[in-house]
Amino acid sequence: MDRVTSFDRRRALGLGAGVLGGLAAGTGTARAATRTQPVAGRQPAAAWMLWWSPNPATDGLNAFEGLEDDRADSHPGVRHIYVSGESYRFDMHTVDRDGSDRQRNESKGMRSGSTVHKIGKDQTWRITYQAFWPSSLTATTKFTHIFQMKVPDVGGPLWTLTPRQKSRPTLTVLTLRDNDANTEHVLADYTPLQNKWLDIEWEFKASNSGGYLRWVIRNGSTTVVDNRTTSVDLWRDVNYLRPKWGIYRSIESSGLQNTYQLIRNYRAYQLV
C-alpha cells in the first residue's frame, strides 16, 4: 500500500493519535485508540503516527531497506545478520573486514512491505528498540559504532551511539555540528549496561536549524539517561536520512573479540 494513501485513510478514520504504545510486543500490529473530534476552526493536535514495527518471524530481513553484511567477502559462507528467535542478531568476527582498517556488518533503513520509510527535511521522528550488548562487545579506543543516523552515500554519520574506552568503558553519543565538528556526549558507564536488555529511544527533528536530538536509555524501570541537544546538524540538502544498526568498528584497537549485538521490538513513529 502506498504510504501517503495509507496515512490519508487513517487520518480520515481518526486513528492517527492512538498508535503510540498500542502494540502487542512482537506482533507488529497497531492498536488504534479513538480520537476526539476537532473543534470547528481549530487544527487537530499533532500526534505520533507509527510507521514501522517489523516482526522478525514474518518480515525477516525484509524489515530493512538493505544490508551491509561482509561486503568484501572476507568471511565466505558466513551470515552475519539474521533473525535469532524474536530478535535480529548482528555478528562480528575478528577476521571480518570492510576495507583495510575497519569492519562493518549493519542493516540500513526501514521497510514495510514494498514501502521504504524515508526521514525527510524538518520531519520529527521517534525511533525505539531494545538492545543487548554482551561483554564481548567491548569499548574501544578507536570507533565502534552500534547505531548510526546517516544520509545515504553522503559523508559521515549525523550521530552515532559509541562505546569508547577512556579511563573506563564509557557509552557516548557523537553528534555532528553545523561546522562539521563532532561533539561527544558522555552518557554512562558502559559495563553496567552490558548483558541485559535495555530500552533505547531517539527523538529528533531533521533540520539544519531548529533541530534537536533527544536520547533516552532505560534499564527496566530505571532511566539511565534522558538528555537532548540542539548543537547538532540533522539535515543535508540531499536525499533523506536513515538509521543503521549493527557493528561498525576500527581494527586499530587492542582486545577486539568475536562478538554480536541483539536488537528487538523496533518501532518508528513520525509526529504528524
Q: Quick one: cell of 98? A: 570492510
Query: Within 10 Å of residue 223's Cβ, how many Cβ atoms?
Result: 11
Amino acid at 216: V
The answer to whether the CB of 159 falls within 8 A of the CB of 212 is no
Both ends of the chain: CA-CA distance in Å? 19
Domain ranges for the chain = 55-266
Model pLDDT, residue 262: 99
Q: What angle do CA 88, 97, 248 make, to 5 degrees?
A: 50
Amino acid at 271: L
Coil, helix or strand at residue 266: strand
Give the contacts of 230 (CB within 8 A, at least 6 positions apart): 211, 212
Q: What angle do CA 206, 217, 162 make, to 5 degrees?
A: 70
Q: What is the largest CA-CA distance in the chain?
A: 65
Model pLDDT, residue 141: 96
Q: Quick one: cell of 199? A: 530500552
Model pLDDT, residue 239: 87
Model pLDDT, residue 47: 97
pLDDT tens for the chain, 272 residues long, are 434 333 333 433 333 434 444 433 444 444 434 344 556 677 788 999 999 999 999 999 999 999 999 999 999 999 999 999 999 999 999 999 999 999 999 999 999 999 999 999 999 999 999 999 999 999 999 999 999 999 998 888 999 999 999 999 999 999 987 666 889 999 999 999 999 999 999 999 999 878 999 999 999 999 999 999 998 889 988 889 999 999 999 999 999 999 999 999 999 999 99
Q: Which residue has the cell 553496567?
A: 192
What is the pTM (predicted TM-score) of this model?
0.84
Closest CA to 263 of 162, 135, 139, 129: 129
Model pLDDT, residue 38: 55
C-alpha distances out from residue 156 to 144, 160, 204, 214, 241, Å: 14, 10, 18, 20, 12
Model pLDDT, residue 78: 98
Query: Within 10 Å of residue 244's Cβ, how many Cβ atoms?
Result: 22
What topology does CATH give the domain 55-266? Jelly Rolls (2.60.120)
